Every structure is written in C-alpha cells, then in structure tokens.
Amino acid sequence: MTTDTVSPGRRVSYRFNKIGLMSLCIILAWALVAFLAPLLAPYPVGKIVNFEFYAPMSAKFWMGTDYLGRDMLSRVLMGARYTVGISLVAVALACFMGVALGMMAAVLGGWIDTVLSRLMDALISIPSKLFGLVVVAGLGSSIPVLILTLAVIYTPGSYRFARALAVNINAMDYVVVARARGEGLGYLVRSEILPNITGPVLADFGLRFVFIVLLLSGLSFLGLGVQPPFADWGALVRENLGGLSLGAPAVVFPSLAIATLTISVNLLIDNLPRKIRDQGA
Amino acid sequence: MANIVEVRNLKVEAVTDAGRVVTIIDDVSFDIADGEIVALIGESGSGKTTIALTLMGYARPGCRISGGSVKLGAHDMAGLGESECARVRGIEVAYIPQSAAAAFNPAHTIMDQVIEVVRIHRLMPLRDARAKAIELFKALALPHPETIGERYPHQVSGGQLQRLAAAMALIGDPKLIIFDEPTTALDVTTQIEVLRAFKSVMQGKKIAGVYVSHDLAVVAQMADRIIVLKGGTIQEAGATEQIIKRPGHPYTQALINAVEPALFAGVNAKEEAAKPPLMEVSNLYAGYGGFLDKGLPRLLAVKHVDLRVPAGHNLGIIGESGCGKSTLARAIAGLLPAVTGNILLEGKALAPYARHRSREQLRQIQIVFQSADTALNPSKSVSEILERPLLFYHGMTRRDRAKRVGELLDMVKLPRGLGNRRPSELSGGQKQRVNFARALAADPKLILCDEITSALDTVVAAAVIDLLKELQRELGLSYIFISHDLSTVRAICNDVAVMYAGEKVEQTSPDKIGQAGGHPYSRLLFDSVPKLDQGWLDSLKQDEALIEAYAVR
Amino acid sequence: MTDRISNWTAADDRMVENAIRRGATRRELLNMLLMGGVALTAGASVLTRATSAIAATPVKGGHIRAAGWSSSTSDTLDPAKASLSTDYVRCSAFYSRLTYLGEDGKISMELAESVESKDAKVWTVKLRKGVTFHDGKPLTSKDVVFSLKRHLDPAVGSKVNAIAKQMTGFAAKDDLTVEVTLANPNADFPTIMAIHQFMIVADGTTDFSKGNGTGAFVCKVFEPGTRSIAERNKNYFKTNGGPYLDSFEYIAITEGTARANALLSGDIQFASNMNAQTSRLLENNPKITLVNQAKGNYTDLNARLDLDPGNKEGFATGLKYLINREAIKTSVLRGVADIANDQPVPPSNVYYNKELKAKPYDPEKAKFYFQKAGLIGKKIPLVTSEAPTAGVEMAVLLQQSAQDIGMDFDVQRVPSDGYWSKYWLKAPVHFGNINPRPTPDILFSLLYTSDAPWNESQYKSPKFDAMVLEARGMLDETKRTEMYHELQRMISEDAGTVIPVFMGGIDATTSKLKGLRPNPLGGSMGYAFAEYVWLES
Amino acid sequence: MNRQIIELVSWRLASAVVTLLIVSFTIFLATMMLPGDVAQILLGQAATPEAVAGLRKAMHLDEPAIFQFLKWLGGLASGDLGRSYANNMPIAALIGGRLANSLKLAAATTAIAVPLALTLGITSAINRNSLYDRIISGLTIAVISVPEFLLATLAVLVFAVYLRWLPALSLANETKTFADLLRVYALPVITLTFGVSAQMIRMTRAAVIETLNTPYVEMAMLKGASRRRKVLWHALPNALGPIVNAIALSLSYLLGGVIIVETIFSYPGIAKLMVDAVSTRDLPLIQSCAMIFCVGYLVLVTIADIIAIVSNPRLRT
C-alpha cells in the first residue's frame, strides 16, 4: 500500500548487529593475516624447526608442530593466504561471470537467454567435486588452475541466482521506463539492474565463498589442492589428520581456522544490516 | 442497546527499523452497539486498519498495543495473550480482508478454508458446517453454491472470492465482523454485487460490523456511523448522514470534495478536428505469447483499436481490469510491439519496437506508470533519476542538468531539497510527482499516463490531477490518460474512449459518457460508480442482462 | 640378579618384538635396550622372550582382509601390465615365477627346477613336474615361452619391455625344458626371472581377469578398483610351507590414516605401507605389529660432473661430508631408514659391500673440500621439489649445515609437476629418487655406466663400464661379488651422486598375523605375503 | 493435471537429450585437454615412444579421438556403453555394481536425512527465534562450515576406533544380514546425513518462514489457528515447491559428490570409479559416468518439479 506520508520505518541504517560485527571482524582479521602472513609467521613455512612431530602447544611453538616438526603457527598463518586468497579470487571470478552473464540473459532474453541457461544447466548437472577433480587431476594442480576450476564450478550457480534476481528487476517499471527511453544493454545492466541486486548478490557471494573454501579443502584432502610444502588450511588438516587421535594441535588449529572463517561468513550473511540485505530484494 | 465494542484511549506503538518507537494510534475511543456497522474512514497511514485489527487483539509485526482497552463483549482484547485471543478469533470477531485472493490459501479447497474456523474451534460436526457454508454461499448470491466449495481459490473470480471470504467470516457466527477495504481491489461493476451481498447478510443476521475504507461513497452505502481518522487520531465521528451531508471537520470536507471532481473544461471540441493530430493510431493489434499461424499472438490483448489525439488534447482510456488498456499504452510506447496497425506521431509512422525508433521519436512520447514504488529505481537519488533523461536526450552538462532538475522539481511542486533523497524516503504522492517530472525532463509532446492516480489516496490523487492540468496549460502537452476510475478520467480528458475485452467500444466526450444512446457497457460502467448518497445502492436498478453480458464477477 | 627389570613394560616388550620383526640385528637390539637403561644381562633375557614369541609354528586356516594403498579400474591380473602394489599382491598370489628372490637376497627356484647356463648367454630352464594351472591344465614349456615372449609385443604393453629385450631366442626343448638366448651374457638372468612381471601364465591367454595361474591362491572374485577374493589353491605345487590362510580379501585404502583406523577397528588385518607418522598411531597398541619393509628406495643429491660446480674437484666429495645422514634418518624420516654410503645397492642385497662405510657428517672436512674447489662463499643453486621424497627437507637441512661453514646454497624449490622431465638429470645440482631394483647390474647399467639412460651425475668411467659388462657375464660368484664390491666403491668415491639413506615403509598387521618378513623386492614381503603369513588361533 | 505433467516430462526429456549432448561433448573436450592418453598412462615409466605407439595401435587408439567419441555416442544410442580402455571389460559390468552401491548409499542417506531435515526445519520454523531454533541454526551453520573429511574422520575415530561400535570401512558386499547392513552403512550415512541435511534444514526453515509471512497465514491466525496449524496446514503445502527443489539439489550431490566419503570409507561407489577413469584417461568410462550423474540430476530435478506441480493446485489444472 502506498502511503502519502513517509512511513517511520523507512530510514534504515547500515549498522551491523553484534553478531554481524563480530563475524565481520573475524573475516577482516583473517583477510589481514592473509595479507601480512609472511611478516607474521615466526618461522619459514617449510622449515623443520623441531625434531619432535605433533609437538604440543608451547611458548616457542604456539600451535605446536606438524607431522614433520614444522611450526604450525607459521603454517596456519601462511595457509590463510592460500585459503582466503584462492577462494576470494575464485569467488570473485565466479560471481563476476555469473552475475554479468545472468543480467545479460535476463535483459536480452530470447535465444541468448535460452542458450546460456541451457549451457549453465548442463554445467550444473556435473557434480562439482568430480568436475574439480577431473580438471585438477588432469591439468595438474597449480594456483591458477585451482582458481579457474573453482570459478568455473561456481559460475552456473551464480548465473542462475543473478538471472532470477535480474528477471524480477527487469520487469520493474523503472526498467521498462528506461527501455522506453531507448537505453541500451550496458546502461540497463549497469545502472538499473546491478545496483538493485547487490544485496542478495553480496549474500550469495559470501555463501559461495564458503562453498569454495570447503571445496578447496576437499580437493586438498584428495591431494589436489595447493601443493606442498605450501598448504592451505584444508591441506594442513589433511597432512596432520594422523594426529587427530593424538589430539595434536596441528590438526585442531587449521580445522578451527576453517570453521571460524566459514562460520563467520555464514553468520555475517544472516546478520547483514537490513539496508544491504534489502537492496533490491 | 448494549455496546458490543468499547474502545478506550487506545494507543499503538510501532518500532522502526532504526529502533525508534513511534506512536501510530493515539488516544482513540469509540463504541459499537449490537448490530451496528461503524465505518473507519481515512487515508492510508491513518491507522484505520490498525485500529480494526486491535479489535481482534492483533497488532501487525513491529507494532504493539501499548495502552488503553479494547473491550469486546466480556474480553479486553488489548490484555489477552496470544492463545486466549486465538480462542476468541473466528467465533466472536471475524475478519474480511482487502484482498481475498491473497487471504485464501492457494493450496486448499475453498470449502476446507471456509469451515476451518469450525475445525479450529470444534463448533459443530464438519458435515453440518459444510451444509451451513452452502447456506451462506446461497445467501451471498454465489453461483453454484453446492459445488463452489470444491474449487481452489484460483479457480473463482475476485468478486466471488470476496464473498467467499465473507462466508468464511460468517461461519462461526461472530458477533462482530471487520471489513477491511473488502471491495477496493474490485472493479466497479463487481463491487456492486459484493456490496449488495454483504449488506443483505449483515442486515439479515444483525451482526455488528467495522467497515474500514478510504471510499466515502462506498461507506455511505454500508455504515450506520462513520469515524474519520487521520494520523492515528479521530478527527470526527457521527451518523453517516450527518458526516456526508454536514461534515464538521475540514478534513472530512476535503474527503467529500475529492469524491466527485469537476468535469474537465477543455478547449473547444470544434477546433480540434481542424488541427492535424499529434498521435494517430489505426487498426492496432497487440498481444502476448508466441505467435500463431496467422501472425497473431496467442493471447490477443488489443484488437482493432483506432485512436486520435490532437495536439494539446487529452484522451482518456477507461475500462476494467483486463480490458487491454495498459497493453495499448505499451504498444504505443513500443515496449510491446504491435502486431499490425499503424502508430503515427505527427503524421510519421513509428516503428513497432522502441529500439528501432529514433531517439527524437522516443523523446516525444513518455510513459508514466501506476505504481510509483516500482517506477523509481530505489538505488538512485531523485536528482540522478531526473538527470538521466536530460543527459540521454539533451546531452546537458552537469551544471545545466542540476539547474534543470531544480526547475523540474519546481514544476511538479516538490521542494528542491528533495533531490538528494532516495525514492524510499518519499511519500506516494511525492514519488508520483518525481515519476512525472522524469517524463517532463524529456520535453515530450505526449505523456502516456497509465493509472497514475490509482494507488494514491483520493485527496492526493486530486492534487496530482490538478498539477497535470496546470502543466498542460503551461507546456502544451497532450496526455493519454489510462484509468479504471471514471471520475478521474472525466476530470482531465477532452475525450474518453471506453475499452472492453481489447476493443474500443465507444469514444465520446466526458459529459456524454453513460448517457442514454451510448454504448450499453459505458452505461453500466457509469451507473456502477458509487454515489455519495446513502440510498444509492438500494435504489440502484441495473439491467440484469447487461450485467450478465459485461460484468466480470 | 633376577630377570625382573624395573621400568620395563609390556610396551617395551612389544618394541623389542617389533624391532626383531623389522629385522634388527641382535647387536642393534642390545643397543636399543642399553639406551633404554636396561642392563645387558637383563636385556638378553627380554630378547629371548620376544624372539620366542615370533618363532611360533605356522597354523593353517583363517581368512584375512588386507589393504594396499593404491587401486584403480586399471587394476589388472595380467602380470606383464602390473603396475600398482595391488596388482603385484594379486599376481603374486595367483601366479608363480620361475625363480624367487628371498629375504636374504638369494635366489631360490619356484616353477623352475633349475636355471643354468654355461656362458651366461644361453640359459636352460628346467621346469618342475606335475605343476598345474588353476583350470587343471599342466604347466609346460610352451607356457613359459608364451609368458616370456609376450613382453616383446608392443600390443601387450609390458612394463618390463626394456629388460625383456635382451632375450632374443626362446625355444621349448621339450615339455619341461626351455632355452632362452640373451643378446649379451648376463649372469643375473635367474634374478631377472624373479621380477613380478615375468610370472608364468598359460599359453595363449588373452583374458586375464580369471587370474588362471599356478599360484598359491585361486581367484574367486576380482573387481577392478574394488577388491579381490582369493582362496587357497588345493593343488599348489609347493607342499611344504604355505599357503596357510584359507582365503584372503584384498582391497585398497588410499588414505594412510583411514588404513590405520581400519586396522585399529579390526576391519582389516593387514595394512601395507604406513608412513612413520601414521605408524606412531599404531606402535603402542598391543594388538598391532609393525614390520619394516626392506629399504632400497632412495632420494639422492646429484652434482653433475660435467657442469659447474660439479666439475670442480672436491665439490661432490664435500657434499658427501656435508650431508647429515643421521639427521635425515631421524628427523626427516623418523628413523624409518638405513644410512647409505653413496652407492645404490642396499644392504639387503647379497652383493652389498659391507666394508664400504658411509662418510661421516664432518663440516670441517667438507669445508676443506669446498675450499679445494674454490667454492666457499659462492652462491650455488640447489634444485629440489616435493617430487623426490623428502627432497625439500633434505635440501633445507643441507642449506643449514652449509651456512655454518660459509657455504651458500640457494635452495630453488620447483613445482613437482614436470620435475622429472624438466629438472631431474638436467640441473647442475639437483635431487633424484630411485626405486629398488633386484640386481646391482640393473642399477649400474641404468644409472652409472657411460651410456646409462639415467646417469644422474654424468659419471663416465671406462673402467667402470668394462667391469659392469664383465660382472654381468661372470658366473663365478666369488669373483662377481668382488667385482660388485669394487663397483660400489667406485661409485661411492667418484660419482657425483650423494645417497644419504635408503628408505622403506612399514607394514602394519594385527598381532595375530604371523610370518611377515621383509623382502628386497618391496613391501608386503615383496608383495607375496599371502603365501607366507598365517593367522594365530 | 496429467496433461501438465506429461507436458513437463516430455519437455524435460527433450531438453535432457540436449543437456546430455552438451555435457558429453564438454567432457569429451575436457578429456582431450588432459595430458597423456590411456596407452601412456598404462605403460607408466616404461612408456617409450615405440611402446606407446604399439599399445595405441593394439587398442585402436590411433584413430582420431573425435571418431572414438562419436562411435561411443553411437553405441550409447543403441544402449551399448562400450568397453573400458583400461581393462577391456564391458563398461556396463564395471558400472553396474558400483552404481547399485552408490544408489544404496544415496537411498539410505535420503531415508534418514530427508525426514530429519524436514522435521528439524519445520519445527525450528514453528518455534522461530526460540532457544531451540537458535540451537538448530547454530548447529547447521557449524556443520555446513566444517569440511566433510574432518567430520568423516572424527566419526571413524569415535565410533570405529574408540568405541568399536561400527566398522571403519564400508565394504558394500559385506552385507549378509540386515544388522550387517546397518553397521556397514552407519558411518558413511551419518557423515553424509550431516552434510546434506544441514543445507536442507536451512532451506526448509527459510521456505516455511517465507510462507508464514503471507496474508493467508495472517488470515489463518485471525481465524484463531494455532502456530502448529499455521505452519503445518497453511505454510507447509505452499512451501513444498522450494523445499522439494532444495532436497533435489542436495540429493543430486549424493550421487557424484560423495567422493570424499567413498575415499575415507573405501566404499566402492561410482564417484571413485569416475576419478579412476580420469586418471587412466578411460574415455568411454568417463563419458558413461558423466552421463549417469547428469541423468541422475535431471531425474531428481524433474521429480521435484512434478511434486511441486502436484502439490500446487494452481499448476495442477
């Protein structure tokens, strides 16, 4: 119902609630760690610093040592670089491609929409882990291959999501008005549609980021992730899985690192400020 | 006579998204006697629905009854807990919503939902309940009363659903029924049927009622007493006759004035024929869906329409929902390409697709939509919205644009300071003005107005119409004014075209519409518009055959 | 003094027992006990207890499930194509070889009664009588000729095509006699016949999925990439000894931790190839026994003698003194290694030169040699990767030792993808990894002769080449042994390959499973464990 | 009602064929991109050029790849999946048992996960914002956020190694009695249930809550309906479409996405088969597996659509 008085609830804030703020802080902290890792790490990543493997936590080795006697703190800090870095680039690529193509399909419609949608449907029907395995196993694991593979895997999902949103926005009168004005595809997509789907796309971005972190660690588990002696968190868990029954900190800390990151992202999405969440929803 | 409802010093608070608490209903007190129908009238945001819902002990999410008492029979609904309220709802007080189409659950049959109250409160055996429901269907003059309950909500028309919602409310024999704008979403021809059914049932059963509406003419037919609300407080209360004949409060007076606006005193009809037309449409066909063999779309929404709009003149297009009037506007704007037929602008043919038209052609025809909410991009400021056509059509510099935006805001009588706001921070009327200013920014010759006042409150709508007229005088514009509301069209148009089922059935001047000799459908439409007269509904005699032929029930 | 020892627990008992199984010598064991603070006399009695636990008599019967670590749909029962550990285990159970390479590195006869030659060029193989295939067909010389000859056919895709090429003539002299002619004399022919791929299949076999051989077990179920079930061959030609088990199932569990967990939970009774880290999960468990595999695989540091800096005299020798073999053994490989002496023949080989001692870790001596080569203070690139096992760790260790004497090694860690084709054999100083081979001859001609395809340090010595050729055709064992000892010495002193340790894995079994011994042909008793182990009742 | 479904199914069938062709061709291209071929892989270290060439010839791999692909496609049309390059067994035989295993595992997980997810999702929607709801939400987020292999390994440690209640391996052919069956499937099913149901719980809760905000649910409340009734009778039937869709997507994961679970529990399923096929460049096997995953996905999505239609009177007629 339209009102002729500005209803009191309309002015909403960008403020985060407590949980959202906490999650955001954790995520930013990890991002910072990823950025500064080489400065923060007390020991070189591949260096065996202790002849005892699975050493417990100590003043010298805050997170103990791993299965070869390497300092876990350094490895977890550097792991942030790979986990956060690769996932972030991959998710950015996936969302960029997915959102761009999705909006294009929604605005142009017709055979372009049909062809794109069918192609994406086909891609989505191949199980993501297997697809990743096939490509990475075949082409060999390197960081660019990992990033591209992860991006391709998550593009169709992002495409579908963005397309669904864009189709809704595309039917809005202001887009119709812009069309009637004679605006081209670029303007429609950039100025009319994109700003109004950013909220949900942002949430989707976060969710997909979590999926990518987990898929990356899954690939690492199968030995196809970041190659040693470097290791992302998933690879760290995998390397030290043998220490699980010994309660070694070497397996606990990277697991915790993954969990804090992914849980924070999930919580952040659930607790996004209304203003962002509702953008175009 | 005992009072069934006694509301004292009611106060309702709402929490805004920013966490601020605001009072939306303040110090409202009124009584309803047994069998009496009291109308709550006011514009949107006046708190009328909120007050009505407190009678059921309910406040919408984010709201809270923070003071006063709401006595309903023996209960104080303001003080009852959720489960206690639930025991009262449906059997002591029942609710008929504005949109029955939305209030019926699409997943269940109508009968299951009508007798749900019986099931919830275990009032009687289900077989008896079904028999009772069928009785009610008959009383509400529903077609096929025996079998209509087996259908699903989407299988019956809006007018029927509205009456079925009444049956749903009546099944528990409540002492009080709340009507929440029950006919607002209906076409006028349908509205009459529904109002008649309501009235006869209420009179027959002697049930008290609260009738919430913004439409004085409708309320005049239904209510014994009227309470006028504004901004959450009572402005005036009194018997229906007193309110409509001798309004005490200036606000009530304004409401009454807005019901029947004056006819458009346009330019002389003789002169126009001589001038070359600004816009000429001939033999236009348009529709949706894939194409059939003969090159016609699967769903033909506009058939064989001819129109002629002389420069500086306004053409009204009127018809009920689904008559094809909006499709016509879209075809003219090139949004939905016409299948056949010509659209001439100043004698030059326009391409069916907007993207094939020149920028200059596009500039000359602008379209303004009904819902200001969806017509403005929520992520842009008012200035940005207005600047785009200036840049796009006129290639103005940043400074010129800023200056022009100020002028445009002046033209539509909005403060210049509004330029920095976003649409969500504007009221409905303001949005519609911005919407209109955007069309003006193009410097057009013709503006297609698609139901632009329908979502606005009557007083606001009247002001917008006045603005349109004023701008026309200053800028020499022409409008094609599309509406379902006859009185609005008559207030602004030189000519009125009546559309029915995709075809133009008649085109005439506003004063002649509905008069004898005109098209029977136009007459039906004209007759169905409620009058501000208590006896109008009872005395209205309509041709049954005509209704049978044209009314969409 | 009594036999009672304070602080000596059942776990220590097991440690000693395990050590014995791993093949520790009595001397090593006593050392171990001494380190544990146990008096020598007391230690001796502990040792007896442990050894007696091992020397139980085999019992027949029972079923086990054993797990290897690699399996795929390309699993095959065609011995010529066998490439994964699972293939070896299955083929070893279903087929037999002409000869068998024992734990001590000595050859014994299996299907052959004798393999003899006067000139090491023409070899006469006499077959056992009365051996039958699982389908009842008796073994004849035709089967042997077929089995050997097929390695030359490219369509077979044999893994040992390169070795088989030296066989130029095959003749079935009679039903039980085969004559094989070699291109050049090779006294190792009987040992070569012990290589897994040279197992004997029935003449004309094209479908290998039935596993129709003469082996100790009959194939009941074979699902590539999933499992196999084998039952004892009632008509097995060996009448003394194994097989003891009624049947065994063989599966693969790729994950080391999963393998350990499955063993702990009792789902499997045998888990092959545990690494040092996973073994730690198991070593204190009374229900688990660990058996060291024979150590033969090694990662070596190669200085090419034809390129700078390897061409500077003293550099390679300096490296041999600078590499800390002890540290590599204990810290990098967690003890699961034998110190090596810069030559490729492992201690388990009969031709191993015991007199040749490994160079000690001596930075000062290393410094002396580097000074001699004029390399102190120069930055020397050291190419390594994860591809050669522990290559990165070894490089880092070396780099640390070098810093102390003013040497500057620039460790260049390159991707493991493409390491073998891009860096191995090519970079001036780099790491390599070599799998065990059954005979010194194969090792030498593969790695050290002037025309060796994998001459890692470009070691070229006409004297060496001539001696390898001579030794190959030498039938006099004593002389041959002497020659091989000398060849090992030459490599150890002169080649640019630094071989710090021999590595090996660990097999873990339930303590009830007995009879598992190391074998030079690889883990799981040269993959033939099924025939030799038994389940304690 | 039937016409609608027949129309949907026939449209789906037609588009499925197109999708399958696209997938098949994509997989073919991807396989072509992989370095090495089956002959090289099979020979391993012994892959001298002559040896590779000989083996290729013997395996008829010297024909152009596209020709092999088309031959395989032609065979598929007549229902023949061809023979594996790696071990020359008929693909149907290789896949048969594995597919049955994968389906069994998927069915067992579905049987537990779906009712569990629906119950938890709906009850937490009913008790929205309660402590119970918050606990469930917290748990689902935690489960979603933890890598699957960690869950699986933890489960093995607890249930197989320490408690010794369950076997650490799930050897599908070990099941002779029903009790065996339960024991063998318990751990992988528990692991998968965790991962799969967390998503479904979230989706179910969200879908139900979304329908709870509709006018007809408000209307039901104004009729005096209880919370339970609002959720179960009013919201749920209308939320069924999105819920079933979410379930279908989750379940499609159970066919091909369980590679980690198959690895840890040594469960002989079809995901592992495909990974093997890729590592040996076994084109017909890769293709056949990909087709199975694709068909599985399409079947699930179609079933979800049919359920959505049947549950929605507006689409039904």
pLDDT digits (tens, 9 = 90+) for D165-223: 888 777 766 667 777 777 888 888 988 898 888 888 988 998 898 888 888 998 998 98
Closest-approach residue (CA) in chain D for B180: D219
Q: Which of D87, D97, D161 sits opposite C265 (nearest CB)?
A: D161
What percent of chain D shows pLDDT beyond 90?
Answer: 7
Question: What ipTM was estimated for this complex?
Answer: 0.75
Question: How many CB atoms within 10 Å of residue B506?
Answer: 19
CA dist C475 to C222, C376, C446, C471, C478, Å? 42, 48, 21, 8, 9
Mean pLDDT rounded to a whole number for chain B: 86
Q: List the structure tokens of C68.
A: 């290897």
CA dist D303 to D111, D193, D195, D249, Å? 16, 21, 22, 11
pLDDT in tens, B84-138: 888 889 889 999 998 888 899 988 999 999 999 999 998 889 999 999 999 989 8
Looking at A99-103, B258-262, D122-126, which range is the least confident one?
B258-262
- B77 contact residues in D (CB cutoff 8 A): none
Is C47 in a helix, a strand, or coil?
A: helix
Query: What is the DSSP track for C431-448?
Result: EEEE---SSHHHHHHHHT
3-state secondary structure B397-447: CHHHHHHHHHHHHHHCCCCHHHHHCCHHHCCHHHHHHHHHHHHHHCCCCEE
- A174, A202, A272, A278, best to mutate vs chain B, most B CBs in 10 Å: A174
Please give the average per-residue pLDDT across A113-121, as a whole number.
Answer: 86
Answer whether residue A252 shows pLDDT above 60: yes
Instruction: Kindly report the pTM of this predicted structure.
Output: 0.78
**CB distance C157–D45 less than 8 Å?**
no
Answer whether residue B17 shows pLDDT above 80: no
* Partner chains of A (3+ C-beta pairs under 8 Å): B, C, D
Asked whether residue A214 is domain-assigned, the answer is yes
Closest-approach residue (CA) in chain C for D267: C226
- The reply to whether D92 touches chain C by the CB within 8 Å rule is no
Looking at B299-313, B411-425, B533-547, C307-321, which range is the least confident one?
B533-547
Rounded to a whole number of angstroms, the distance from the CA of A130 to the nearest CA of chain D is 7
Rounded to a whole number of angstroms, the distance from the CA of C158 to the nearest CA of chain A is 24
Rounded to a whole number of angstroms, the distance from the CA of B254 to the nearest CA of chain A is 15
pLDDT at res. C473: 82
- A53, A54, A224, best to mutate vs chain C, most C CBs in 10 Å: A53
Cite the DSSP H helix spans in C178-264. Answer: 189-192, 256-264
User: Residue D270 belongs to what H/E stretch?
Assistant: helix D270-279
- The reply to whether A245 touches chain B by the CB within 8 Å rule is no
Buried b (16+ CB within 10 A) or exposed e, B261-296: beebebeeeeebeeeebbbbbeebbbbeeeeeeeeb
**CB distance A245–C281 less than 8 Å?**
yes
- D144 contact residues in A (CB cutoff 8 A): 210, 262, 266
pLDDT at res. B551: 61
Answer whether residue B548 shows pLDDT above 50: yes
Q: How far does CA A28 lie from the centroid of its chain?
A: 13
Highest average pLDDT, of B187-191, B351-355, B363-367, comes from B363-367
CATH architecture of B3-259: 3-Layer(aba) Sandwich (3.40)
**CB distance D224–B117 less than 8 Å?**
yes
Asked whether residue A5 is domain-assigned, the answer is no
Q: Which of D168, D279, D282 sits opposite C262 (nearest CB)?
A: D168
**CB distance D256–A127 less than 8 Å?**
yes
More confident residue, D268 or B517: D268
Q: Which of A121, A130, A237 sits opposite D150 (nearest CB)?
A: A237
Quote the domain boundaries for residue A169. Answer: 64-277
Q: Which of D42, D160, D161 sits opposite C157 (nearest CB)?
A: D42
**CB distance D48–C162 less than 8 Å?**
yes
Answer whether residue A138 shows pLDDT above 80: no
More confident residue, B268 or A188: A188
pLDDT at res. C430: 92
- The reply to whether A47 touches chain C by the CB within 8 Å rule is yes
Which residues lie closer than 8 Å to D145 by C-beta, 6 or more apart? A210, A214, A258, A259, A262, A263, A266
Q: Domains, chain D, ranges and CATH?
A: 3-25+96-316 (1.10.3720.10)
- B94 contact residues in D (CB cutoff 8 A): 222-223
Is C64 in a helix, a strand, or coil?
A: strand
Closest-approach residue (CA) in chain A for C284: A246
- The reply to whether A229 touches chain C by the CB within 8 Å rule is yes
Angle between helices B428-441 and B398-411 (to 10 degrees): 130
Answer whether residue B358 shows pLDDT above 80: yes
Asked whether residue A6 is domain-assigned, the answer is no
- B116 contact residues in D (CB cutoff 8 A): 220, 223, 225
Q: Are B449 and B368 in contact (CB under 8 A)?
A: yes
Answer whether residue B435 shows pLDDT above 70: yes
pLDDT at res. C51: 44
Mean pLDDT rounded to a whole number for chain A: 81
Closest-approach residue (CA) in chain A for D271: A130
More confident residue, C154 or B317: B317
**CB distance D274–A134 less than 8 Å?**
yes
> Which CATH number applies to C295-503: 3.10.105.10, 2.60.34.10, 3.30.70.20, 3.30.2230.10?
3.10.105.10
- The reply to whether A137 touches chain C by the CB within 8 Å rule is no
Q: Which of B43, B335, B442 sits opposite A4 (nearest CB)?
A: B43
What percent of chain D shows pLDDT beyond 70?
Answer: 92
Rounded to a whole number of angstroms, the distance from the CA of B367 to the nearest CA of chain A is 7
Size of interface A-B (CB pairs under 8 A): 108
pLDDT in tens, B136-157: 898 888 888 998 999 998 888 8
- A1 contact residues in B (CB cutoff 8 A): 44
Q: How confident is the model at residue D275 (pLDDT cuts 50, 70, 90)?
A: confident
C217-287+511-535 placed in CATH 3.90.550.10: no
CATH number given to B269-529: 3.40.50.300
**CB distance C280–A246 less than 8 Å?**
yes
- D141, D254, D301, best to mutate vs chain A, most A CBs in 10 Å: D141
- Residues of chain C scoring pLDDT < 70: 1-56, 276-277, 415-422
Looking at A45-49, D45-49, D107-111, which range is the least confident one?
D45-49
**CB distance A2–B455 less than 8 Å?**
yes
Evaluate whether B3-259 and B269-529 have a shared fold: yes
Looking at A94-98, A271-275, B72-76, B380-384, which range is the least confident one?
A271-275
Q: Is A223 exposed, middle or buried (0-12, 13-18, 19+ CB in 10 A)?
A: middle
Looking at A277-281, C389-393, C432-436, D97-101, which range is the least confident one?
A277-281
Distance (Å, rounded) from C-alpha C357 to C-alpha B429? Answer: 99
**CB distance C76–D87 less than 8 Å?**
yes
User: Residue B236 belongs to what H/E stretch?
Assistant: strand B233-239
CA dist D87 to C135, C197, C225, C406, D84, Å? 22, 17, 11, 57, 6
Distance (Å, rounded) from C-alpha D148 to C-alpha D152? Answer: 6
**CB distance C392–A242 less than 8 Å?**
no
Distance (Å, rounded) from C-alpha C180 to C-alpha B417? Answer: 104
- The reply to whether D129 touches chain B by the CB within 8 Å rule is no
Is B537 in a helix, a strand, or coil?
A: helix
Report the CATH number that the domain containing residue A124 is assigned in CATH: 1.10.3720.10
User: Residue A210 belongs to what H/E stretch?
Assistant: helix A194-221
- The reply to whether C160 touches chain D by the CB within 8 Å rule is yes
Taking alpha carbons only, the member of C152, C430, A172 closest to residue B335 is A172
Q: How confident is the model at residue D47 (pLDDT cuts 50, 70, 90)?
A: low
Q: Domain segments of chain B: what residues?
A: 3-259, 269-529
**Which residues numbered 165-204 in A keep a CB inside 8 Å of some CB on B?**
172-174, 176-183, 191-192, 195-196, 198
Chains C and A are touching, with contact defined as 3 or more CB–CB pairs separated by less than 8 Å: yes
Q: Domain segments of chain C: what residues?
A: 2-55, 97-209, 217-287+511-535, 295-503
- Count of domains forming chain A: 1
pLDDT at res. D77: 78
**CB distance C209–D89 less than 8 Å?**
yes
Asked whether residue A269 is domain-assigned, the answer is yes
Q: Which of D41, D46, D156 sits opposite C161 (nearest CB)?
A: D46
State which amino acid sits at residue B427: S
* Partner chains of B (3+ C-beta pairs under 8 Å): A, D
C97-209 placed in CATH 3.40.190.10: no
More confident residue, A3 or A95: A95
- B60, B373, B374, best to mutate vs chain A, most A CBs in 10 Å: B374
Closest-approach residue (CA) in chain C for D274: C73
pLDDT in tens, D6-25: 877 788 788 778 888 888 88
Report CA torsion sign: C53, C57, C58, C63.
negative
- The reply to whether B392 touches chain D by the CB within 8 Å rule is no
Q: Which of B20, B379, B427 sits opposite A3 (nearest CB)?
A: B427
* Partner chains of C (3+ C-beta pairs under 8 Å): A, D
**CB distance A196–B369 less than 8 Å?**
no
Chains B and C are touching, with contact defined as 3 or more CB–CB pairs separated by less than 8 Å: no
